[in-house]
Amino acid sequence: MVNKKEIGRSLADKAVWAMLFNILVFTVLGVIDGMPILSNMAYALLFGFASAATLLGYWHEKGGSFFILALLMPLLLIIISDLSSFIALAWLISGYFFGFALALAIYKLMILNKK
């Protein structure tokens, strides 16, 4: 069985590739639809970052409530966002995963590289 901390390390190792993929998705969405609603992107990045941070807390055995909070983040993001089209949802999902990958990349740079 894989140690929970190893899951975070494994995901953090792939975070840079996830960020590059999301930049590619942002480029395609920008060509198709233009700029997104900036408040939606800010929410998506914030909630993605917070979701990764709470999952890291769970993986470092800080309590099961962190897991529940991480699961609620995407739902709360959808509820508070202004989704006028399917493309707006695509921007939101991509921004969420970019924020998630950004948090994991920061975790890798600040925590894992010290060890």
Please give the chain's pLDDT, 115 residues, in tens. 456 667 677 788 888 899 999 999 988 988 888 777 888 899 999 999 999 999 988 888 787 888 999 999 999 999 999 888 888 899 999 999 999 999 999 988 887 677 6
Q: CA–CA separation, 40 vs 92, rounded Å?
A: 6
Q: CA–CA separation, 93 vs 75, rounded Å?
A: 11
Q: Residue 93, exposed/middle/buried by CB under 10 A (0-12, 13-18, 19+)?
A: middle
Torsion of the alpha carbons at 47, 48, 52 and 55, rounded to the nearest 10:
60
Q: CA–CA separation, 75 vs 71, rounded Å?
A: 8
Quote the pTM value.
0.85
Residues constituting the chain:
115
- Predicted pLDDT at 74: 92
